[in-house]
Amino acid sequence: MDFLMAVLPILIVLIGMLLFSRSGVFMSVVGWVFAGIVAWLYFKTPLSVVWGASIYGIVKAFAITFAVAFTMFMIFLMKETGALDEIVKTILSITKDKVQQTLFIGMGFGSLATSLGVVTPALFPPVFVALGFTPLAAVAISVLCYDPLTSFALLSIPITLPAHVAWGPFGIHPPGIRNLDHFIWSFTQHITVFLPVVSVGFAFMMLYFVGGWKSIKKHWVGGTVAGLVLSLTALLLAFTKIVPVEVIGIIAGLTTMVVSYYMYRKNGEGKVKFDTDFLRAASPWLFLFAFSLITNYPPVKKFLAQLPGNLEVLTIAGKHEDLNILAHVYFWILVSIIVSLPILKPNSQQLSKAFNTWIKSVWKPFIAYSLFFAVAFIMAWSGMDFVNGKLHPMANFKELNMDFIIGKTFADWFGSLYPLISPFLGLLGAFVGGSETASNVLFAKIQYGAVVSTVGAPAFMAIYGAHAVAGGIASAITPSKVTNAAALVGVKGKEEGELLKTLILPVLALTLFVGIMVQLIVLLSK
């Protein structure tokens, strides 16, 4: 019964979207309400903690919600000024059909853009619609291309941030891991081991939305090549350590773009021509890429994070949260918009139309991301209380914490086969929290405890890598991302539900395959 109640908020969201075709934003509200009620009434969590967790979750989501919001405004502005049409014209000149466009943009450019901090569900749907894709296909590919590399989004924050939390505050020190840097590289390497299967799987899912099974049958070689180039480039860079973890996704995405371009180019067709009109149209993206590279250079990022001092530090539920505004990509998305205005030269009518469209659309993904983060923190803080203004576990924390109950139940059910099912925690965590990063942070200690009690601590890094990969796979069905993309092209709640019904089986199959792989890795390492 405890397990059923712990997973109830997740089940309600799934049922609402899959069976009743309700939108992600609606179900985020429902899921948040149910999570709060269950934590309060069933798991005896004080209301003050429930509210504190909700507020803290919403604040922690700022890095994503504001990135999405500003990216959406950038797209609407580019559309009104004709910049988007110019970019589409250039892409059409170097890609001859929807398959090449899918692999070039979806697998290559999508991974590159995601690695630099661009949220593709907030960026690509209008591009694919303008290229002639149906709105549903545009939404599907835009969501799918967010994570063929899973954990290398946002300059590898889903790897580096959880590693810092796990090694530091959580005190997770697996045998053989010497220090934080070693933890980060080991985590990265274990993630890339699974990517050849996952990346090819994502390529096939994209091809399916181009033309169904016929498209996969006809173009499986191209999809396989794109997926393997993307994943094997990341794997090679991870094991050779010749570049920082933060730029692995950028290089892998760029390499895939080049290979996809030359793979379909024949007799001089589709030569790249980047003229001044294209550079003007792409100026917001070019500025963003440049700012992302510069501001994520560690010394620069550290300087920017420290620059405002205590002015951006909030105290929420007894915890100090440094917003680090200048070090976050959303700030530089806004800067990119501002500095590109003299180049795009929008008139007052274009600015007004872009702003009005943005206001009508932005609130849906903003609410969805915020409340799914709130749900994640309600679950993580259940069974806790405030003591002298600070958050502490209650005496019977293990019997009352929703996350711990889910992890322990899986461990009790599967025992030595726990690695097989462990990736599904990553899938659930990312689905609820709307982010692999949140899943990797919130479930780190739960995974470690379950691993120690079933197959032993040495297996943790492999299982944690599988957990992270499954969290990336979850992006294909994460309601907040689907809602975000759907809002840009007018896809409604019923169509969102149809999209999830189509994607859920391959997502579960990929996650199961990752589980089989990590089970074999654990067995062979003994």
Secondary structure letter of residue 327 according to DSSP? G
**Does the structure show a pLDDT above 50 at 493?**
yes
Predicted confidence band of residue 46 (pLDDT cuts 50, 70, 90): very high
- Report the range out of 21-25, 58-62, 247-251, 418-422 with the highest average pLDDT: 418-422
State both tokens at 434.
Answer: 């709307």
- Report the range out of 123-127, 334-338, 439-443 with the highest average pLDDT: 334-338
Predicted confidence band of residue 419 (pLDDT cuts 50, 70, 90): very high
**Does the structure show a pLDDT above 90 at 305?**
no
pLDDT of amino acid 272:
56
Which distant-in-sequence residues (6+ apart) come within 8 Å of 49 by Cβ? 39, 317, 381, 382, 384, 385, 386, 391
**Does the structure show a pLDDT above 70 at 471?**
yes
Instruction: Calculate what percentage of the chain has a pLDDT beyond 70.
Output: 95
Q: Encode pLDDT of 445-456 as tens digits.
A: 788 888 988 898
Mean pLDDT of the chain: 84
Q: Encode pLDDT of 355-410 as tens digits.
A: 998 998 888 878 887 888 788 788 888 888 888 878 888 888 888 888 788 878 87
Residue-level length of the chain: 526
| Structural domain containing residue 114 | 2-525
Give the Cα separation of 433 and 60 in Å (integer). 11
Give the Cα separation of 88 and 434 in Å (integer). 29
SS3 292: helix
**Alpha-carbon dihedral of residues 156, 157, 162, 167, nearest 10 degrees?**
70
Angle between helices 493-525 and 423-433 (to 10 degrees): 150
Q: Is the dihedral of CA 361, 364, 366, 369 positive or negative?
A: negative
pLDDT of amino acid 267:
45
Please say whether the beta carbons of 22 and 505 come within 8 A: no
**Does the structure show a pLDDT above 60 at 458?**
yes
Give the Cα separation of 131 and 98 in Å (integer). 8
The number of distinct structural domains making up the chain is 1
Q: What phi and psi, each to the nearest 5 degrees, are found at residue 145? A: -75, 0
How crowded is residue 338: how many other Cβ atoms within 10 Å of its Cβ?
11
pLDDT of amino acid 99:
84
Please say whether the beta carbons of 359 and 46 come within 8 A: no
Q: If you average pLDDT over residues 275-289, what whole number do you get? A: 84
Predicted confidence band of residue 256 (pLDDT cuts 50, 70, 90): very high
**Does the structure show a pLDDT above 60 at 249?**
yes
Please say whether the beta carbons of 44 and 400 come within 8 A: yes
Give the Cα separation of 59 and 71 in Å (integer). 19
DSSP string of 10-26?
HHHHHHHHHTS---HHH
pLDDT of amino acid 18:
65
SS3 321: strand
Could you tell me the pTM of the whole model?
0.76
The better pLDDT of the pair 318, 73 is held by 73
pLDDT of amino acid 434:
63
Please say whether the beta carbons of 183 and 211 come within 8 A: no
